[in-house]
Structure formats: C-alpha cells, structure tokens
A and B are shown apart, each in its own frame.
Chain A
C-alpha cells in the first residue's frame, strides 16, 4: 500500500495539486524526503486523473490494494485515441518524447501501480522469465512444488494478455505456443479461448477477460512455499514476474502443511482461482424455518408424521417429545421474520395438510430400498426441450422449448381447466358450495395447454408452491409470470437485457430469483416490476439459481465455475465454493438445509457443507454434464441425471456422516476427500438415448425424471 500511496503522491505533485497532496501526505504521515527527487513528467490526461481519483475503497470486493481497476477499465474503452493513462507506464519511447523528462528506471514501480498492463520490460524476454520460473519451481522440493505450480496458469495468462495488450502480437503468439501445453488439463478450454485473442481489440468486447484482468486471482499457498518463492523472485535482477505477482495475484497465506497436488486439484478450477478464506467466514443460517402450528383433521389411517426439525407434531391426544423440541429455537435457523414472507392462506394450509398426509405414506429410502424411477420422455421435441419443472405435488409438468412456447401438461388424469370467461362467470350461482368447481370451464379442459408469449427459447421454468403461477425465463431477456388458472400471461419482468438462463420461485412463493448472461442474479417479488436485490460478483454468466429451503439464501452457479451463496436480506455474498472445472448447471440443497450438491459440465457432483464452507464430498461417475440433481424428501438419497443418458443414485446419508470439521480444516480450508464414489453409488439407470434434464421426488419418494428423446 505504501507503494500506492507514494505513487499517488507523486502523481498529485506532478499535476500540481499541491493542496490535495499535502492533505494526503498528512493523513498518510509520509515524509517528503521519502519520495525522492523524481522529476519525470508523465502526461496527465483527464482519464488518468479520473482513474487515480477513483481509487476509493469499496470499489469492488476483489480489488484489494491496487487501484488498478478503474484505469484499466477506462483504458480499453478509449478507442483510437491514445489514452495517456494507459501509456502512463508506456513504452520507453513515449517517455523520451516528454519535454524535460528524465526517464528514471525505478519509475516502473510507480506506474505499475497506476495502469494495469504497462510495459514491464522487453517483450522478447518474457519467455525467458517464464521458463526461468518454471525451472525454479521444477527444482524445488516436492512438497512445495505442487503449491508453487499453481502459479503457472495465472502467470501465463497475465503475461500473455500483457503482450497482447501492448500489441506485441508475434511475441504473444510464440509465448503461447511454447507454454500452453504445460498447463493443467482443466484449463484447456480457457486456453483455447485465449488463443483466439490475438489483438488488443479482441480483448475489448470480452467482459470475462476484462474481469479476469481486473480481479485478482486468488492462490492459497502455505507460508513456507511462499517464503521460498518470494526469496527467489526478489533475488533476480529484473523482477518482472514479482511485479505481476503483486499486481494480479492475491496470495492467501496459511500456516501449516503444504497441500498435496490432489488436494489442490480438487479446489482449483475457477476463473478467479480459489476463494479467500475470509469469503467463507460469515455466519450462515442454514436451519429451516419453523412450520406454523395448526389443527390437522385426522383420518382413521393417519400415522405419525415425520419428525422434521422444528416441525410440530400433529394434534394427537398425547404430546410427543418432538412437540417440546419445537419450542426451542434452532440456533442455526434464521429468525422467523428475518425476511418478510407471505402469510399462509387457507389454501396453503390445506396443502400442508395434504403434504403431511402424503408424508406419512412416504417410502423410507436407503441403500436397501431404492426408489422406483418413472421417466417422462418428451417425444418429437427435436432437441428443442430446454427446461422442465414439476409441481411439488407432482400434478403438472411444464416444458420450456426452443420455439419459445411453454407447454403445461397434467400428469394426473385430472385435466387442466381454466377459469370461465367473464360472460359465463356472471351466469353461475355464486352462493353454491362448489363455486370453485363451477368457475372452471369444462368445455376447454384439456391435458395440454400451450402458452405463447416469449420471443426466444425458454431456458427456465418454475411452478409456484401454491400452483397458481408459473414462471418462465427466456433468451429474450424477460421473465414471464403466467397464471395457471386462466393460462394467460400476467407480467413480463424486464431487467436482464440479456438471455436469462434460470429462474426459480421461493419455497414460500412470492419471491423468485433469476440469473442470466449479464452475470448477475436478481431477486424479484411478484408484485414489484423491478428487482428487489441484485447479486453481482460472478465473473461470467449465472447459469443456475436456487433458493435455500428457508428462503433466506440463494445459491447461484455460474460459468466461471464457482458457486456463490447470497444472503437475501442484504445481498451479500456469504460463501464462495470453487472446485468445479466447468460451468455449473445444477444445484440442489439438502432438505435439512445444511448441504449443497452441485453438478457441472465436468461430470462431477460436489458436496458442500454450507455452515463451514467446505467441500465434503466428490461423486465421480458421470461422463457428461450433469443437468439434474435432487435429494429425496428426507435427504437419504441424492439422484443425479446427466447428458450421458443415465440417472445415478448416491447414498447421501453415508456421504455426509463423519465429517472432518475440526478447527484446522476450517481455518485452512484443507480437505481430504475420501475416494469413495464407488461406495456411495447405489445404482446407475440408463435411458435409451434420452439425456436427463430434470429430476423430482414425489411426496412419497417416487422419483420422476424427464428428458427429451434425442435420436442418436
């Protein structure tokens, strides 16, 4: 930080802003003689001033120390006009042209701070620097080598981008040719994208690349390895690599044993490196909300309900011991009124009664008792089926298609009915008991209802818990709310101006979340035409959004290979989970709210402990993208469906028991994943060339799956 302060002071002095300089110096308590007698003049165009002035803290969470962000952002946007801020560090040629300029060789430190990718020395020497570092790391001790090898990829990318940015195309190309094969296999996709970026203009339009440049790549290295690296880099004469490390990398140092390659491999892979430890330290209320107490009409065959945490027992004459448990507040559960939730209507209460009755007849699943799977195949969809959802009571199924239609089917023999027209409604007897039946139109009852309205493929659908509404989000950038009583569109929520990839209703209704190509997720309420919360932080598209069962948190999976957990109350990101090697396409919370399962294009299912913020399991077995994940109703079985045409069942109880959550693990984030995927796999069920895109456990623990038949 001292360096930044010195740089800013020099800058202010050069721009003749004496008063600001004095004030800043006083506040920073720096002495004047610290700055030396540098007289080099550097052009101070207004963007440059603005860039430096815009260093205020709080500009982005990963900005860290450097005020690098603003200037680098403005840099590429100045098309055509040579931006002086950019060329502040500039080539030596530029410096020489300044009148009375004294090119001081130690200036690079100052200007390095001020611009993102200044000229850090001779471009032709980059290959030498890199291979020098490579040699050093390969000769280091085994225990340190794995950790230091983490440095290769970010360094490679940043050096390459620097060469491209400063328009040394041929050097960039040869640098890439020489070293791209050394990188880890899971970075190959990124490298391919990188290889197509050969000119500076290419970098401008690519938001992900710009974010990569301005955010700091996080590395977790043990103290010993770090000391080794630092010593080596500072010994060298021209520590260009050290400069890059300081500017673009954030090294999270921990005390303890260096990690093994296996441990590191499990956690890396995201676009911004791993997550800093502080990112996962906030308290998360992962407990469930208490169910309200109400009278339940008892049938003759009613059994005891399931003893869910905090759920009160039904009103039997004798009070069970669970009843007393419900009085205690679960310390991990959020307060009931932490976020406003809609009150329970009578129809909701009836629904809950039905739920409890069904729960009584639920099959207990386990390794010996696997669920039966009922597969709904969409025929003649011609690869146009893009989203599926099933209601909680499994009565309706909706499909979103690439031809921008949304089709709703009734799964039960009961047909879909819409409310009669106004003319007919005036004719019915409003006082009769079955008025709710009479308002429904029998003449147009059908098994299928088609909803038209979107102007692009429909990528996400979600039923509301009370089955009155349906949401659909599409490539046209809108989220539409449909009424399932009139089968018409009610509202179009415009906010994302880019394709929206996923949407979901909250488990209590009223709120819904959507995530799209603009890299943010938005929280909406059905009665507000603008979002209530914006969750910004991902570096690439948000591909998957899910509510936590207590509706207080939202998990978003993104194409930057991370999963973030956001707090609905204040929009903060409370957890960052890295480890996947491809964009995340499916998320599932366990019913008890403590764990999260995620699936991505790399074919692995990762299990996370939300409370501690750690990875607790890895399920290998699928060979293609996992599009569907679902826990059974009591959390004993995890089902995963994938593009490789299979549904796999995993033993969730066994996966989550015996967790190592001692202090060391939580402090350092070290994990030791057992290689037990084979033990946890309970069954693999293949379809006849139908990728599985949706899974749903009915209230009685029958597994429903859905996919579109693809004929090859």
Chain B
C-alpha cells in the first residue's frame, strides 16, 4: 500500500484533516489517499440518512424539533438493517449441537457427479430460445408456430417442462408442420382492454387450451393468441402444460 501522504494543512479541508486524525487514532498508518474520501463519503451518507430518519420520526411524534431520542431511534433502526453482526455465540453453539447430532449420511456408490437436487444447483438453463419461423397470415388457417420469448426464468422448479421448451421447440414445430385439418382448431381470444393486467394462465374460453395470456405484453388492440396447436384428438407431444408468450405482438409492433 502506498504510504499515506498527509495533505498539508493549508490545502486539505477540515473534514479531511479530522478523518486523517481518526485513522491515525485507530492505529492505521498506511493507506491510500482515496481512503479519506471514501470514509468521508460514508460518514456523510450515514449521518444524512440518520438525520432524515430522525426528522421523520420527530414529525410523526408531532414534535417541533428533532431531539436526541429521535436520533437514537433512527440509529437503532438503521443498525438492525444495515449493520448486522453475526449471530451470538450461544446461538451458534445451540444450532451446532443440533446439526451435529445427525449422523453423517452414507454415500451412494456409482452415482455420477454428486450434486444437490437440481433445484439447488445452478445448472438449469436460464434462457429459452426464440424460434425464427415467421408467422403465416391467420386466414390461411395454418397454425402458427408457438413463439417463445427470451427472458430470464428465475428459479423455476425443475419440472420437466423447463428442459423441454428449448429442446423441443424445434421438434414441436416440426410436428406441427403436419397438421390435421385445422378449421376448427384455430382459437381466437379477444381480450378487452378493460381486463386487469397481470399474468394469468386462465383461458378465457373453454375451448382454448394451454394459453398464457400476458396482458403486460399486449398492446392496446385486441390480440390474436395462438395455442400450442395440439389437436385435441391426438396425443399431446408435450403432455405437460407449456407457457408461451404472445408472439403476434413482436410482429406487429
């Protein structure tokens, strides 16, 4: 660490001198010059936060001015929030005693990489692929390919649905390419704009299957939503529910 260069008294502001003195009192002799700036900034931010909190408390108590009790309360509340300290020793001894009572678990042989359940690993994909096929016009009666949007999927349980979309997107659309007569299969859902926003997986018509309505992505106009195009008669290639976003929006907007 570079040796401290104490700013000459005539150029350093008083605050910086005070901070340098504090560091010296605490026994810190070597520090980079920027440490003083950092400490001053921290001190300023901390004191401002506390005083602002104290003002709020004192106005809540309908006092005319901020007094020491308000400041004390503000400090106490902030301490519990930002400056947490590790648990006390007897608590640790307690939980240690509990934890150490259970015997060590036996190790299963031949189990490949020994990792926790998938839910606790970081091995799940955190993305979904967006297929590139364009949607054909709806009057043709063709089913459109389900589109998936790229978006972060945060900590979903690793039910098989998760793994499948990316892998099976292509295959599903391939399957979909061989359609059964679709005259009755196209589902149109009209969404009046007065519907409350918020994701809901409830289909609005009983014949609509596997629709996810995501009004947050929906523009002001009524939207054509396509399903995952599984004809009710045939076996569902993906028997599990699949969510997908509205895809027309991407084309239209």
**A: which residues have CB within 8 A of B?**
59-61, 69-70, 73, 79-80, 189, 192, 196, 205-207, 210-211, 214-215, 339-343, 383, 453, 468, 481, 483, 488-492, 497-498, 510, 517-520, 525-529, 531-537, 539, 568-572, 712
Contacts and interface: CB of A to CB of B under 8 A. Distances in A.
B104 to A, nearest CB: 6
Given A73-B88, A211-B88, A490-B123, 8 more contacts: A79-B76, A342-B107, A491-B120, A526-B115, A527-B115, A532-B102, A536-B93, A569-B104
Contacts of A61: 93
B104 A339 contact: yes
B154 interface: no
A22 B133 CA distance: 86
B99 interface: yes
B79 interface: yes
A526 B107 CA distance: 11
B233 interface: no
B116 A491 contact: yes
B77 to A, nearest CB: 10
A482 B29 CA distance: 39
B87 interface: yes
Contacts of A69: 90
B122 A492 contact: yes
A490 B121 contact: yes
Nearest to B116: A529
A478 to B, nearest CB: 11
Given A73-B88, A210-B88, A491 B105 contact: no
B90 A520 contact: no
17 contacts: A60-B90, A61-B93, A70-B90, A79-B76, A80-B72, A196-B26, A206-B85, A211-B88, A214-B90, A491-B120, A497-B84, A510-B114, A527-B116, A533-B100, A534-B99, A536-B93, A568-B104
A340 B79 contact: no
A528 B105 contact: yes
B27 interface: yes
B114 A525 contact: yes
B18 interface: no
Given A207-B86, A519-B92, A571 B99 contact: yes
Contacts of A569: 104
B44 interface: no
B251 interface: no
Nearest to A483: B113
Contact of B96 (A205, A215, A490, A571): A571
Contacts of B93: 59-61, 536-537
A492 B114 CA distance: 14
Interface string B87-130: 11110110111011010111101110111110011110000000
Contacts of A535: 96
Interface string B53-80: 0000000000000000000100010010
Given A571-B96, A712-B2, A340 B104 contact: yes
Nearest to A195: B25
B83 interface: yes
Nearest to A469: B113
A490 B88 contact: no
A343 B104 contact: no
B166 to A, nearest CB: 10
Contacts of A343: 107, 109-110
B105 A532 contact: yes
A273 to B, nearest CB: 16
Contacts of B2: 712
Contacts of B121: 490-491
A215 B89 contact: yes
A572 to B, nearest CB: 8
Nearest to A569: B104
B120 A536 contact: no
A192 B89 contact: no
A215 B88 CA distance: 12
A469 to B, nearest CB: 8
B76 A80 contact: yes
Nearest to B86: A518
A517 B86 contact: yes
A539 B86 CA distance: 11
B96 A529 contact: no
Contacts of B87: 518
A529 B120 contact: yes
A536 B97 CA distance: 9
A211 B100 contact: no
Nearest to A712: B2
B105 A211 contact: no
B100 A570 contact: yes
Given A340-B104, A340-B106, A569-B104, A491 B115 contact: yes
Contact of A525 (B83, B105, B117): B105
Given A535-B96, A712-B2, A491 B122 contact: yes
B90 A534 contact: no
A341 B88 contact: no
B160 to A, nearest CB: 17
| A-B interface, 7 closest residue pairs, ranked by CB to CB distance from nearest | A571-B100, A529-B120, A536-B96, A536-B92, A518-B86, A527-B114, A534-B96
Nearest to A189: B27
B117 A529 contact: yes
B232 to A, nearest CB: 33
Contacts of B100: 533-534, 570-572
A231 B106 CA distance: 57
A491 B79 CA distance: 32
A445 to B, nearest CB: 22
A296 B48 CA distance: 72
Nearest to B80: A79
Contact of A192 (B27, B84, B123): B27
With most chain A CB atoms within 10 A of its CB, the pick from B76, B84, B85 is B85
A498 B111 CA distance: 32
A534 B95 contact: yes
A408 to B, nearest CB: 18
B25 to A, nearest CB: 8
Contacts of A70: 90
Nearest to B88: A73
Given A527-B116, A569-B104, A59 B90 contact: yes
Nearest to B72: A80
Nearest to B26: A196
Contacts of B115: 481, 490-491, 526-527
Nearest to A496: B86
B29 to A, nearest CB: 12
A205 B83 contact: yes
A531 B100 CA distance: 10
A483 B110 CA distance: 18
Nearest to A215: B89
A559 to B, nearest CB: 12
Nearest to A539: B89
A525 B109 CA distance: 14
A468 B93 CA distance: 34
Contact of A205 (B79, B104, B107): B79
B107 A490 contact: no
Contacts of B110: 343
B90 A489 contact: no
A518 B93 CA distance: 12
A498 B86 contact: yes
A490 B1 CA distance: 36
A481 B86 CA distance: 24
A510 B104 CA distance: 12
B90 A73 contact: yes
B97 to A, nearest CB: 8
A214 B76 CA distance: 23
A490 B25 CA distance: 46
Contacts of A525: 105, 107, 114
A536 B122 contact: no
A131 B95 CA distance: 43
